[in-house]
Amino acid sequence: MPWPGVVRAFFDRLPIENDRNVVTLLEGNTPLVETPAVAARVGTGVRVFCKLEGLNPTGSFKDRGMTAAVSAAKEEGSTAVICASTGNTSASAAAYAAKAGMRCYVLIPDGKIALGKLSQAMMHGATVLQVEGNFDDALRLVVDISGTHPVTLVNSVNPNRIQGQKTAAFEVCEDLGRAPDYHFLPVGNAGNITAYWLGYTEWREEGRIQNAPRMMGFQAAGAAPIVRGYPVENPETIATAIRIGCPASWKSAEAARDESGGTIGMVSDDELVEAYRYLAAKEGIFCEPASAAGVAGLFKTAPSLDWKEGDTVVCTLTGHGLKDPDRAIAVSPQPAKVSAEMSAVLAAMGFAS
Ligand code: F0G
């Protein structure tokens, strides 16, 4: 049977009543790729897999939650959705709203979102408002607006988003035939770590897996409120997707960390860029900068973890590298300019006689 998208694949576990209301772009079922060059930096006998969420229809994991949230909105008779976003949520909301024939309003931080994401929201016909403030300011506004106006909020404070996103944990367990021992991922608004933990605990309670992984979440050092223990007023990081100072799912992220015996740590922008480039150069995987936070966190904490032979690690790579080509170009050696002559090209290739 062809893949039906996450709501239909896990219909009995998601809050959609009627199949007729499902709004899907056939998201989910993303590859879990073994990454030996990452494992080589971790330790012998440890296997590392990356879940390529950038291969969802709009290029990020947000599509899992968005199919659930927009389907539920349709079921409720809603005709418009709204979100605040660092980019990916707005791209996904705009696409699913377009598919559903709904209006979409997105509030994004002025000037601080990757161009690929902005182009998506614009192309899908959303009303895009650039707020003179950061994500946290935009989220406060959309929560208020959705409370007083006929628009459905599709940020992850909408529980249907978390429900949809938990399906990634189910897929990981199905692919591995068990749960991993550790799960590394970036943390921004903290919805995704909450959702994975929900998925793992649901399946453990049903006896489908025996153990749940330690949840290892990583924030950018300039936007690490959970690590620091207080909201960050002016979050800063090159990983604009996770440039968030006061995550909505703060408490549930801490619960995921504590119940799983995991960690929420932070990585510097330099560590994040190093992992971003390493994945591209050594594994052939181009993710967006924020996505590399989990892998950077793995590299950082690996020496202090108590590894056992056969330990399995999953890292979620949350978004596609093409979302933010400006950053990729900024951190890479620039192409050499050569004249259109054989000798010049060969010399530049190192084949000079
Ligand atoms: N990675 C990427 C690529 C993201 O876009 C986000 C969040 C995260 C990680 C963090 O996930 O918020 O569930 O902890 N992006 C949101 C957005 C905030 O508006 O697109 P989280």
Written as tens digits, the pLDDT of the chain (353 aa) is: 899 999 999 999 999 999 999 999 999 999 999 999 999 999 889 999 999 999 999 999 999 999 999 999 999 999 999 999 999 999 999 999 999 999 999 999 998 999 999 999 999 999 999 999 999 999 999 999 999 999 999 999 999 999 999 999 999 999 999 999 999 999 999 999 999 999 999 999 999 999 999 999 999 999 999 999 999 999 999 999 999 999 999 999 999 999 999 999 999 999 999 999 999 999 999 999 999 999 999 999 999 999 999 999 999 999 999 999 999 999 999 999 999 999 999 999 999 76
Can you give the pLDDT at residue 353? Answer: 64
Q: What atom of ligand 1 comes closest to residue 186's alpha carbon?
A: 9
Residue burial 143-170, b: 16+ Cβ < 10 Å; e: rest: eeebeeeebbbbbbbbebbbbbbbbbbb
**Contacts of residue 99, Cβ cutoff 8 Å, sequence gap at least 6:** 23, 24, 25, 70
Can you give the pLDDT at residue 10? Answer: 98
- Which DSSP helix (H) or strand (E) runs through 279? helix 269-283
Q: How far apart are CA 86 and CA 101, in angstroms?
A: 23
Q: What atom of ligand 1 comes closest to residue 91's alpha carbon?
A: 20
184 CA from centroid of ligand 1 (Å): 14
| DSSP notation for 37-92 | HHHTTT-TT-EEEEEEGGGSTTSBTHHHHHHHHHHHHHHTT--EEEEE-SSHHHHH
Q: How far apart are CA 171 and CA 31, in angstroms?
A: 9
Q: What is the pTM of this model?
A: 0.98
Ligand 1 site, residue 288, Cβ cutoff 6 A: yes
207 CA from centroid of ligand 1 (Å): 30
321 CA from centroid of ligand 1 (Å): 14
SS (H, E, C) 23-47: CCCCCCCCCEEECHHHHCCCCCCCE
240 CA from centroid of ligand 1 (Å): 9
Residue labelled with tokens 């696409």: 95
49 CA from centroid of ligand 1 (Å): 20
Can you give the pLDDT at residue 204? Answer: 98
Nearest to 320 by CA among 295, 294, 290: 290
Can you give the pLDDT at residue 139? Answer: 97
Question: Six-digit token pair at 293?
Answer: 């936070």
Can you give the pLDDT at residue 43? Answer: 83
Q: How far apart are CA 344 and CA 347, in angstroms?
A: 5
Q: What atom of ligand 1 comes closest to residue 189's alpha carbon?
A: 12
**Contacts of residue 280, Cβ cutoff 8 Å, sequence gap at least 6:** 286, 287, 321, 328
Out of 105, 154, 192, 257, mutate this one to test ligand 1's pocket (max ligand atoms within 8 Å of CB): namely 192
What count of residues does the chain have?
353
Atom 4 of ligand 1: nearest residue by CA position: 241
Atom 15 of ligand 1: nearest residue by CA position: 241
Q: What atom of ligand 1 comes closest to residue 287's alpha carbon?
A: 3
Ligand 1 site, residue 160, Cβ cutoff 6 A: no
